[in-house]
Amino acid sequence: MKAASSLSQTEPEASLEDRFRATRQLSEALVAPLSDADATIQSMPDTSPAKWHLAHTTWFLETFLLRDHLAGYTRYDDRWPFLFNSYYESEGARHARAARGMLSRPSLDEVLAWRSHVNEAITPLLGRPDLTSLIELGIQHEQQHQELLLTDIKHALWSNPLGFAYLDGGEGRTVRLSASPEWHEHPGGIARIGHEGPGFAYDNEGPAHRVLLEPFALAGGLVTTRAWDEFIADGGYRAAKLWLSDGWAWVQRENISAPLYWRDGEHFILSGWRERDPDAPVTHISYYEADAFATWAGLRLPTEFEWEAIGRGHSAAEGNQLDEAASVEPDGSDSLFGGCWQWTRSAYLPYPRFRPVSGAVGEYNGKFMSGQFVLKGASCATPRGHSRATYRNFFYPHQRWQFTGLRLAKDL
């Protein structure tokens, strides 16, 4: 199997059409190592089959661009919207999320053919100025699903006792930066938060507004697997007093004693079972684990506002991200963005004066604003150009199949 490493992804400054084409191609390159069966199975209700991601992103374009804006377009197959709508209530009934793994048909090849059809049919719309933001949303939406596709296929392959690899080789990049001993200090005061100005952003990144910060410092490096091994050795998973109450209940109920994908000195990565690198960032941890670790370390998680205040001075492009898929799985890069998504202690809630946009597309972000926490940064599986300091990723506190890690903070 050989992944998308030779794919030359265009730069953000490329034209909208070029970026659209490159994004669509990248999705297809990502499934190249997969068989029809690999792309069909679903290993838990949180994940979706790879084939489903390919189809859902296509449904999104066919629905909100072709159907709504291309006169005379007829659906490629009338029966498929029922299968590939994710959660848009306003788009009608849909297949149960937990049963996505039952769809052995349409096959991977049929879905790829549908993609080609839509890619072709959409051509006349790509130059229309009134559709620029919708096309941009289509690109961004597909990029999100590229990351999910990778985390979901990782989980699926790990669920097979034989532990098949998604990628050959997997030696990854040899560059390894030691974890920075430095802290990013901030004097506190009023900070500007949220997206403003040109460039794409999701609705949940605005409106831009001010928040008041106390003086704090943000760690220069991510927590490493070496530090995590110390936490385990010190009984971290057995010490109730380190944990949030819900977290402790989760540890007990699920028998948690290590990050997801760990066994003995190994972890399962997209290249299969490999020895762990003590200097690489720990990943695949839940919010509960991140919070317990911070308590154990006598420190804390940052808020999303603290992270953003520091992050504004850094470039998201520093990360080792998905344009070189051979390096998927984080190494020890010290970029603020690189390696993994970083849990913050901020609940995912609306910013002041937030209003969802109207129409089905408005279901995009706002309706998930309860029970989840914000993550900042980006991961090794995030497509290049898909993150920024204002980006708000969000997951439930028990979830850990994403590339999730942590960066500590402290009061000054």
Helices (H), 314-395: none
How far apart, in Å, are the Cα atoms of 342 and each of 72, 298, 308? 45, 18, 12
Q: Which residue lies nearer to a second copy by CB, 43 or 204?
A: 43
Smallest gap from Cβ 83 to a second copy, in A, equals 7
Residues binding a second copy: number (CB under 8 A): 64
Q: Which residue, 83 or 297, is less far from a second copy as judged by CB? A: 83
Closest CA to 356 of 344, 371, 366, 346: 366
Does residue number 92 form part of the binding site for a second copy (CB under 8 A)? no
Shortest Å distance, C-beta 127 to a second copy: 33
Q: Which listed range, 5-13, 76-84, 230-238, 312-320, lies at the site for a second copy (CB under 8 A)? A: 76-84
Residue closer to a second copy by CB (options 107, 119) is 107
**Looking only at residues 118 through 177 of this chain, which bind a second copy when binding is defined by CB under 8 A?**
156-157, 159-162, 164
- Measured from the CB of residue 273, what is the shortest distance to a second copy in angstroms? 13
**Whole-number Å distance between alpha carbons of 252 and 52:** 33
Report yes or no: 269 and 340 within 8 Å, Cβ to Cβ.
no
Within 10 A of 106 (CB to CB), how many other CB atoms are there?
18
285, 404 contact by CB (below 8 A)? yes
Element (H, E) at 28: helix 16-30
- Does position 235 bind a second copy by CB under 8 A? no
Q: Shortest approach of a second copy to residue 398 CB, angstroms?
A: 10
Looking at the Cβ atoms of 110 and 279, the one nearer to a second copy is: 110
Site string for a second copy, 363-402 (x = CB under 8 A): x---xxxxx-x-----------------------x-----
- Compute the least distance from the CB of residue 274 to a second copy, in Å: 18
Between residues 279 and 363, which has the closer beta carbon with respect to a second copy?
A: 363
Per CB under 8 A, the segment of 31-39, 113-121, 218-226, 259-267 that binds a second copy is 31-39
126-134, 264-272, 273-281, 347-355 -> range binding a second copy (CB under 8 A):
347-355
Q: Assess contact for 367 and 204: CB atoms under 8 A.
A: no
Which residues between 303 and 332 bind a second copy (CB under 8 A)?
A: none
**Distance of alpha carbon 256 from the chain centroid:** 23
- In terms of Cβ atoms closer than 10 Å to its own Cβ (0-12, 13-18, 19+), residue 15 is exposed
Residue choice 2, 74, 82, 175 for contact with a second copy (CB under 8 A):
82
Asked if residue 326 lies in contact with residue 167, where contact means CB atoms within 8 angstroms, the answer is yes
The residue whose two tokens read 């972890």 is: 267
CB within 8 Å of 252: residues ≥ 6 apart: none
Contacts of 102 (CB under 8 A, 6+ apart): none
Gyration radius (Cα) of the chain, Å: 21
Strands 373-377 and 341-347: antiparallel
Site string for a second copy, 248-287 (x = CB under 8 A): x--------------------------------------x
Among 9, 23, 27, 40, binds a second copy (CB under 8 A): 40
Among 11, 36, 168, 171, binds a second copy (CB under 8 A): 36
> Which residues sit opposite 342 in a β-bridge?
376, 405
- Rounded to whole angstroms, the Cα distance separating 116 from 318 reads 33
Task: Establish if 194 lies at the interface with a second copy (CB under 8 A).
Answer: no
Torsion, Cα of 31, 37, 38, 42 (10° steps): 120
Picking from 122, 10, 154, the residue whose alpha carbon sits closest to that of residue 58 is 122
Q: Which is nearer to a second copy, 6 or 90 (CB)?
A: 90
Question: What is the total residue count of the chain?
Answer: 412
| DSSP annotation of 265 | T
Any contact of residue 103 with a second copy (CB under 8 A)? Answer: yes
Closest approach, Cβ 230 to a second copy, in A, equals: 22
Q: Which residues bind a second copy (CB under 8 A)?
A: 35-41, 43, 79, 82-83, 87, 89-90, 95, 99, 101-108, 156-157, 159-162, 164, 190, 209-212, 214, 240-241, 243-248, 287-288, 291, 345-347, 349-350, 352-353, 363, 367-371, 373, 397, 411
